[in-house]
Chain A
């Protein structure tokens, strides 16, 4: 076999492999191109346009829409605060649950894991609607009153939205945490104890650092969709606890100002990108340092 022959052979094999790759990637590429890249392009173009007289989009080239973004700063601040707090709450509630599932649940583990997923079998909308009844006047507030306390108001307050967020997004947090806790090498815990560390020290210096990748991915999985949340604040916030998602709906539907709405959407995307980039940078730097210190 001469060098040229094998070269040609290799080339054609390589070409075939490339063709196969392209073929298999075609559906997902087309999907992403048509449903992500193209709409984003439209959004970007629209964001520099002007509102048509009856509403909608009219061609234009102006940065006014971006300059007006500060008029919606309350919605942005609200979103960031509640999404941040909701994510932290998900970690605080999700970690002990995942820990129990991974280390203590024993034979009940499968059953409990299924129970975590069960809520996904009904619609997100219906589950959130259910909270309307639970948090409404005839729900928990009546119970509190019956116990002799002053009747509280939950519905249409930030705590109600927070409850809805934690309830709906918790499974997305529990699963990455569970996987990282499950994979944790239990011998390391024994070693830690052998070396004289107590329960808390073992948790703080061994378990937590080693499961931090799970926490990190859980946070990203939960934080990004909450930033774009619309339904939970719409139902449990009564039009008063307002996310950027709700402001977007109003801008597109009530005031039909597509260019301004597009600028808000682009603003939200940039906002999330910057937040996630910062977070990843801080998160990964911490991990590298720990790996070094473990050695």
Chain B
């Protein structure tokens, strides 16, 4: 499928003009399968040869495994403010950037894109780099909250190596617009279970919400995030993860409120309770699941066979950034395959750049949490642009929290 054709479909999906089923049918099984086909061991692995640089980028064409060096003759300043997610960056990656450039990286951690948006709408955040999710680009692009990338400042980024389906949301206006970001990684929203305590088989969101109210009452956490918590409650009832229909949302709300008193917590930072076994089951993302599994192999990851979310997060530059040069240096650093691969060893989410995937160890590529089988993801959906600003879901979430 042509990139533009895909982008058109994606845009139609975002706007709700076509259903996710039509979208998945038209595009194949969803974006993830393509990535998987590319990186599955034994499959036609992408060869790690540098492709011709796009016209906008300088023709540096560094070898793929080469290390990153700071741009010469550019004053990068002393500080950089990056707004991102919990447990998402290897502290060593950030320290090394500071060693190489003298720029200190300050992280601000959020639990939802909605909270980020709330601050960004007020403006004057002082943030330089933002790591938003695929469904935010429509709003961030149209509000000029993030800037079109200056590719000349990103010699290590080669968008042609990226899976174009996963990269497509970063084009604003959708389809042909300039790139406003590039994928940090992608992943799914499923749940982690500690098999030392959880003996019942769990495979779906129906299992999740039913067992949360019975066998594992008091031991389950859900995200403090409307997109995923409402979305998965919708999936429980067999509705779309992205539904905004009033009657379907009402059913999801009823389920969430019934489950609430049985939950251990409503939090997007669920690694601590999973680690000390306060919680046995937690709604979670690929990267957290991979990290938790690394520390305790009893912890397994379940992708709902009845549905859920597939997502991708992007590196973007906030419009009006006061440390713009440092922001671009940081993005270029993270676009460097050898750097990103080391970082991914820590965060555990799957990558998008074929050169990066080629550099990853066989162990990582065979890790079923990081790179799950395509068949396990057939029902997953990307969040739609509408959900970021939808008032009904936002209000539902605030109402549920204070119920």
- B is a partner of A: yes
Interface stretch of the complex, out of A33-41, A58-66, A212-220, A251-259: A251-259
Please give, as numbers and ranges, the residues of chain B lying within 8 Å of A251 by CB-CB distance: 398
The yes or no answer to B207 lying at the interface (CB within 8 A) is: no
Please give, as numbers and ranges, the residues of chain B lying within 8 Å of A82 by CB-CB distance: none
Interface range on chain B (Cβ under 8 Å from partner): 35 or more
The answer to whether A137 and B260 touch across the interface, beta carbons within 8 angstroms, is no
The yes or no answer to A132 lying at the interface (CB within 8 A) is: yes
Please give, as numbers and ranges, the residues of chain A lying within 8 Å of B121 by CB-CB distance: 54-56, 256
Please give, as numbers and ranges, the residues of chain B lying within 8 Å of A72 by CB-CB distance: 402
The answer to whether B264 and A238 touch across the interface, beta carbons within 8 angstroms, is yes
A246 to B391, CA, bound (A): 19
The yes or no answer to A96 lying at the interface (CB within 8 A) is: no
**Chain B nearest Cβ from A294, distance in angstroms:** 47
The yes or no answer to B53 lying at the interface (CB within 8 A) is: no
A246 to B401, CA, bound (A): 9
A208 to B119, CA, bound (A): 50
Please give, as numbers and ranges, the residues of chain A lying within 8 Å of B403 by CB-CB distance: 74
The answer to whether B277 and A256 touch across the interface, beta carbons within 8 angstroms, is no
The yes or no answer to B376 lying at the interface (CB within 8 A) is: no
The answer to whether A240 and B273 touch across the interface, beta carbons within 8 angstroms, is no
Residue in B117, B122, B265 whose beta carbon sits within 8 Å of that of A156 in the complex: B265
The answer to whether A254 and B115 touch across the interface, beta carbons within 8 angstroms, is yes
Contact with A along B86-121 (1 / 0, CB 8 A): 000000000000000000000000001011011101
Please give, as numbers and ranges, the residues of chain A lying within 8 Å of B143 by CB-CB distance: 54
Contact with A along B264-289 (1 / 0, CB 8 A): 11110000110011100000000000
Please give, as numbers and ranges, the residues of chain A lying within 8 Å of B224 by CB-CB distance: 239
The answer to whether B118 and A136 touch across the interface, beta carbons within 8 angstroms, is no
Please give, as numbers and ranges, the residues of chain B lying within 8 Å of A247 by CB-CB distance: 398, 401-402
The yes or no answer to A153 lying at the interface (CB within 8 A) is: yes
The answer to whether B118 and A252 touch across the interface, beta carbons within 8 angstroms, is yes
Please give, as numbers and ranges, the residues of chain A lying within 8 Å of B265 by CB-CB distance: 156, 238-240
**Across the two chains, which residue of chain A brings its CB closest to B403?**
A74
**Across the two chains, which residue of chain A brings its CB closest to B263?**
A240
The answer to whether A55 and B118 touch across the interface, beta carbons within 8 angstroms, is yes
Please give, as numbers and ranges, the residues of chain B lying within 8 Å of A153 by CB-CB distance: 218, 264, 278
The answer to whether B391 and A51 touch across the interface, beta carbons within 8 angstroms, is yes
Residues of A106-164 whose CB lies within 8 A of B: 132, 136-138, 153, 155-156
The yes or no answer to B312 lying at the interface (CB within 8 A) is: no
**Across the two chains, which residue of chain A brings its CB closest to B143?**
A54
Please give, as numbers and ranges, the residues of chain A lying within 8 Å of B267 by CB-CB distance: 238-239
**Chain A nearest Cβ from B85, distance in angstroms:** 15
Please give, as numbers and ranges, the residues of chain B lying within 8 Å of A253 by CB-CB distance: 114-115, 118-119
A256 to B121, CA, bound (A): 9
The answer to whether A255 and B395 touch across the interface, beta carbons within 8 angstroms, is yes
Contact with A along B41-67 (1 / 0, CB 8 A): 000000000000000000000000000
The yes or no answer to A97 lying at the interface (CB within 8 A) is: no
Given A138-B276, A153-B218, A256-B121, A238–B398 Cβ distance below 8 Å? no
The yes or no answer to B135 lying at the interface (CB within 8 A) is: no
The yes or no answer to A21 lying at the interface (CB within 8 A) is: no
Q: Which residues of A contact B (CB under 8 A)?
A: 51, 53-56, 71-72, 74-75, 132, 136-138, 153, 155-156, 238-240, 242, 246-247, 250-257
Inter-chain pairs besides A138-B276, A254-B401, 19 sampled, C-beta below 8 Å? A53-B391, A55-B394, A56-B122, A136-B278, A137-B273, A137-B276, A137-B278, A238-B221, A238-B263, A238-B265, A239-B267, A240-B266, A242-B401, A247-B401, A250-B402, A254-B398, A255-B398, A256-B394, A257-B395
Could you name 17 residue pairs across A and B whose Cβ atoms are closer than 8 Å?
Answer: A54-B143, A54-B389, A55-B121, A55-B394, A74-B403, A75-B402, A136-B273, A137-B276, A240-B263, A240-B265, A240-B266, A247-B398, A250-B401, A253-B114, A254-B115, A255-B395, A257-B394
